[in-house]
Chains A and B, each alone.
Chain A
Amino acid sequence: MKTLFAEIRSAVLVTLMLAVVCCGLYPLAVYGVSQVLYRDKANGSLIVDAKGTVLGSKLIGQPFSADKYFHPRPSAAGNGFDGTSSGGSNLGPTSKKLADSIGQNVADYRKQNGLAADTPVPADAVTASGSGLDPHISPRNAELQASRVAKVRGLAAEKVQELIRENTDAPDLGFLGDPGVNVLRLNLALDQLPGK
């Protein structure tokens, strides 16, 4: 019995000790270092306008549906791009619900962008992302939307292409991951163009 009590005492005390070191000191140390070295990123990479209003985060997608904006991917987070309930559709390959929604999205996408009824549509444009907050669309998806945006805004096609290129995140180190066009940053850049 004596050894059992000694072992329980050891178990309780090491639990408390680990709580102090690993749950207290460690996150505080990371907090201190990252607030000094990467202040902007550690606080959410926020985009703030001239008046100090937070417009969003460079990393978190936002919903857009007007013709003058590039449209993000469909989102299954809450009612769409809800930052408090990230997640995907969790619908599987033989789901009728998923097939119906993809069919609808394909039809909508062709209509919005004036594409022929047999034009193949980029997969990312009609499927929901894993987080529901995906900030990116594929370059081909942006390409297909570019003429619509240029037309509505009365811009030269080259100007829109240039902005797409500027707001494309290339693969890290030149080979890691896939390129993606950041929709929020691209749309803000469009809004900041002089004139219209």
Chain B
Amino acid sequence: MQPSGWLQLAVYVVVLAAITKPMGLYLMQVLDAKGRTWLDPVLRPLERLTYWLMGVRADHEQDWKQYTWAMLLFSLVGCLFTYAILRLQHLLPLNPQGFGPVSPDLAFNTAVSFTTNTNWQNYTGESTMSYLSQMVALVIHNFASAATGIAIAAAVVRGLARHTTKLLGNFWVDLVRVSYYLLLPICLVFAVALVSQGMIQNFQPFTKAKLVEPMKIQVEKKNDKGETVKGADGKAVMEEQAVTEQVIPQGPMASQVAIKMLGTNGGGYTNANAAHPFENPTPLSNFLQILSIFAIGSGLTYYLGRMTKSQAHGWAVWATMIVLFLAGALACWWAEAAGNPIHHHLGVIAADGNMEGKEVRFGIFNSALFATITTDASCGAVNCMHDSLTALGGMVPLFNLHLGEVIIGGVGAGLYGMLVFVVLAVFIAGLMVGRTPEYLGKKIQSFDVKMAMLSLLILALTILGFSAWACMSQWGPPDPATHALTDGTNNSGPHGFSEILYAYSSAVANNGSAFAGLSGNTPWYNTTLGLAMLFGRFLMVVPIMALAGSLAQKKLVPASAGTFPVTGFTFVILLLGTVLLIGALNFLPALALGPIVEHFLTAQGKLF
């Protein structure tokens, strides 16, 4: 753990803290239908035109059921829109490669994946998706799903801040204002900054480069009919072939990457995602990307404080998140810097740490930091391959997913997820002192606690249920040689189990990162992962919206000597305890079967 890493970590936290207040103040304006921003002269006409087309009145507010219905309908329409484009892409324009329609199960998985802000990718972009599918069918959800998450968070915060009312705001207004005033302007500047670091933004076909030194490779020999020639032993005959060209990908990457990071979507333009030299060219572009993952979520905690007129509460929530973030980042960094003893015995310099699946320009520290941040938030972009992390280094992202991504979290989703834990923490504190718990002057009653617990139980039940089902089944592609069914894992032993557990954890938590060795593009995996993503987003949101509706209707009770304060050190400790206790109790047995046992096997030098 080099000193330069400590410096970079300190700079990151300081910069994040510094942008939290300005971002929160800007959110106050964006999330207020009558709010004013300095972009009004340009964007106000566009906003009015959109409302006029939609037939929406900006001053009309909705109760929690109307708000939730509007959100669900919008998500359904968006999901069908994407599904239709993917299935019909062979009939639609902008398909120069002549790709056929995407298979029904893969189109379902992909449409759900992008609608739910997950961006799990079971497809290979460059060999499956037409330009229209990439640019419209997928990218629209990078904006829409991010705006939806922020809208829900705003409704929940209004539920806390208001009293004796049913109204939580207007979903359509929140959606449009967040897209136009928040996401678009930041992305525009951010994308150009990324291009300045070397990211591509063009509409050219792929470039062919002449290799400086042609490469010789062994390939299977084919006869005139294109069949593989087999030798007497039944194995394919290999022949030498010279590769003289390298294909360099091109395309409108920067505009897509900016929103993928800022909106915590994470779906990569290339297969290697943010590890690709074009998709993350320099350590500076890396710094900007990890900052943008946390930017809005961090600002939302300030928004919470402002709206509820208790800025200290906003900062207490922020502090809890940062403590959990630092713990994860340090643990992952320590594990990766320590490296893999099996490889050290083979003659690798131990002080270099575990470099498998990592890029030299990021090194151990920035790879571990990125892995932690991308799973604290529901981003899911990766700048190193999580499947090749050490056992304990890989457990950090997995555990982050299990906590429900409440450490800053996905845009909006992180805040409303954390507020569920706050309600529970207040409830537990109330039990300890034997009083009816209060949160910001609202009595927390049995309905509220039921809704909070329901959303947490759905998280644990879907992750563990689907993982267990997949482990008992053979859902992978058939073995090419023997045609036997497989479970689709790329590693054997406990690491194979970790691959499956990670897949469903990532899907339910709407993250999208993967232990990418798992071959998930099969009908069963596509379907069950798609369902896991739907449950993880919408089954969680409905109880949370019900909670918001219930809180908004309550009367304010004045604070008394018996009121548990939701600010300060004691509250932070209690909230930390609640998050960790629930996360650990639910998932520790599963983690013991995967990364924990693998850690001890690594120390013993056991291979699979």
Residues in A with CB closer than 8 Å to B361 are: 134, 136, 169, 177-178, 180
A130 touches B516 (CB 8 A): no
A-B contact pairs, 15 of them (CB 8 A): A6-B55, A14-B54, A18-B144, A29-B188, A55-B212, A73-B360, A79-B217, A89-B388, A90-B387, A91-B388, A91-B517, A92-B391, A126-B348, A172-B284, A177-B362
Query: Which one of B50, B202, B342, B490 lies within 8 Å of A14 (CB-CB)?
Result: B50
The answer to whether A54 and B139 have CB atoms under 8 Å apart is: no
Interface contact A93-B212, CB-CB below 8 Å: no
Which residues between 1 and 59 of chain A lie within 8 Å of chain B, taking CB atoms?
6-15, 17-19, 21-23, 26-27, 29-31, 33-35, 37-38, 41-46, 53-59
> A114 interface residue, CB < 8 Å from B?
no
A34-B192, A41-B195, A80-B217 are known contacts. Are A63 and B211 too (CB-CB below 8 A)? yes
Chain A CB within 8 A of B375 CB: no
B246-A60 in contact (CB<8A): yes
Does A90 contact B516, Cβ atoms closer than 8 Å?
Answer: yes
Q: Tell me whether B281 is interfacial, beta carbon within 8 Å.
A: yes
Contact call A95/B4, Cβ cutoff below 8 A? no
Interface 1/0 per residue, A152-196 and B, CB below 8 Å: 000000000000000001011101111010001001100100000
- Please determine whether B360 and A178 come into contact, CB atoms closer than 8 angstroms: yes
What is the chain A residue whose CB lies nearest that of B216?
A: A65
Given contacts A15-B144, A92-B491, A30 and B191 within 8 Å (CB-CB): yes
Bound: A65/B188 CA distance, A: 42
Chain A residues with CB under 8 Å of B575's CB are none
In angstroms, how far is the closest chain A Cβ from the Cβ of B134? 10
Binding site for A on B (CB under 8 A): 4, 7-8, 11, 46, 50, 53-56, 69-70, 73-74, 76-78, 81, 124, 126-127, 135-136, 139-140, 142-144, 172, 175-176, 179-180, 183-184, 187-188, 191-192, 195-204, 206-213, 215, 217, 219, 243, 246-250, 252, 254-256, 258-259, 270-272, 275-278, 281-284, 286-287, 339-340, 342-343, 346-350, 352-363, 365-367, 382-385, 387-391, 394, 490-495, 498, 515-517, 598, 601-602, 606-608
Residues in B with CB closer than 8 Å to A177 are 282-284, 286, 361-363, 366
Contacts of B249 on A, CB cut-off 8 Å?
83-84
Asked whether, in the complex, the Cβ of B4 is within 8 Å of the Cβ of A38, the reply is: no
- Residues on the A chain within 8 Å of B8, using CB: 175-176
Residue of B nearest to A139 (CB): B360
* Contact assessment for A124 and B195 in the assembled complex, using a CB-CB cutoff below 8 Å: no
For chain A, the count of residues having a C-beta within 8 Å of the partner chain is 107
Give 10 nearest A-B pairs by CB, closest first: A177-B283, A178-B363, A130-B275, A123-B352, A90-B517, A86-B272, A88-B385, A92-B495, A136-B360, A131-B272
- Which residues of A have CB within 8 Å of B342? 93-94, 99
> When the two chains form the complex, which single residue of B69, B73, B357, B601 contacts A90, counting CB atoms closer than 8 Å?
B357
- Determine which of A38, A44, A53, A106 lies in contact with B248 in the assembled complex, contact meaning CB atoms within 8 Å: A44
User: B-contacting residues of A (Cβ < 8 Å)?
Assistant: 6-15, 17-19, 21-23, 26-27, 29-31, 33-35, 37-38, 41-46, 53-66, 69, 73, 77, 79-96, 98-99, 102-103, 106, 110, 118-124, 126-138, 140, 169, 171-173, 175-178, 180, 184, 187-188, 191
**Min distance, Cβ B437 to any Cβ of chain A, angstroms:** 36
Assembly CA distance A140 to B360 (angstroms): 12
* Known pairs A22-B140, A96-B607; A122 contacts B352 (CB<8 A): yes
A42-B53 Cα distance, complex, nearest whole Å: 36
CA distance A8 to B490 in the complex (A): 44
B598 vs chain A, min Cβ distance (A)? 6
Contacts known (A45-B198, A80-B215); A91 close to B490, Cβ less than 8 A: yes
Given the complex, which residues of B lie within 8 Å of A87, measured CB to CB? 271-272, 385, 516
| A116 → B minimal CB distance (Å) | 11
Asked if residues A7 and B213 are in contact (CB atoms below 8 Å), the reply is no
B281 — which chain A residues lie within 8 A by C-beta?
59
> Are A180 and B356 touching (Cβ within 8 A)?
no
Residues on B with C-beta less than 8 A from A42 are 195, 199-202, 254
8 more CB-based (< 8 A) A-B contacts, given A31-B255, A54-B207: A15-B144, A26-B184, A41-B199, A82-B247, A106-B346, A118-B347, A138-B352, A177-B284
With A10-B172, A21-B46, A43-B202 as given contacts, are A99 and B283 in contact (CB-CB < 8 Å)? no
Picked from A10, A19, A31, A64, the residue with its CB within 8 Å of the CB of B54 is A10
B276 near A133 with CB under 8 A, answer: yes
Selected contact of B277 from candidates A12, A60, A171, CB within 8 Å: A60
